[in-house]
């Protein structure tokens, strides 16, 4: 998931899919949403390689805040993006209990 998100982020930032003027944000809500996903999610998943519980919590928290900001995403397949963070949290919690 981390490699996929990095690949998509680079394509979005460097590609021409956004037209001749590149990527633009129309308001502050879009900037916050972009910071939460994919930026904070990438940071959380990267942290999860070393610290699964902390990284998972960062990833899940960023997705939850994004869902609170954009309720329309709850009705889309975008909901599955929280799964890797939840799995890392479970892995970190189980490993912490041992």
| pLDDT tens figures, 24-55 | 788 999 999 999 999 999 999 999 999 999 99
In the chain, % of residues over pLDDT 90? 63
Q: Are 58 and 40 in contact (CB under 8 A)?
A: yes
> Where exactly are the structural domains of the chain?
27-97
DSSP 82: G
DSSP secondary structure string for all residues of 14-80: HSSTT-TT----SSHHHHHHHIIIIIIHHHHHHHHHH-HHHHHHHHHHHHHHHHHH-GGGGGSGGGG
**What whole-number distance in Å separates Cα of residue 87 and Cα of residue 78?**
16
- For the record, the structure tokens of 1 come out as 């998931």
Average pLDDT over residues 65-71: 95
Query: For residue range 13-22, what is the model confidence (pLDDT) as tens digits?
Result: 777 766 766 6
User: What's the whole-model pTM score?
Assistant: 0.85
**pLDDT value, residue 17:** 66
Tokens of 28: 């502050």
């Amino acid at each position: 998931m981390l490699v996929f998100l990095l690949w998509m982020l680079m394509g979005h930032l460097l590609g021409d899919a956004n037209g001749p003027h590149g990527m633009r944000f129309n308001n502050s809500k879009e900037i916050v949403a972009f910071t939460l996903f994919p930026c904070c999610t990438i940071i959380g998943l990267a942290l999860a390689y070393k610290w699964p519980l902390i990284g998972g919590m960062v990833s899940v928290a960023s997705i939850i805040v994004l869902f609170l900001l954009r309720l329309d995403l709850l009705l889309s397949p975008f909901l599955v993006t929280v799964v890797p963070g939840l799995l890392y949290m479970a892995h970190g919690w189980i490993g912490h209990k041992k």
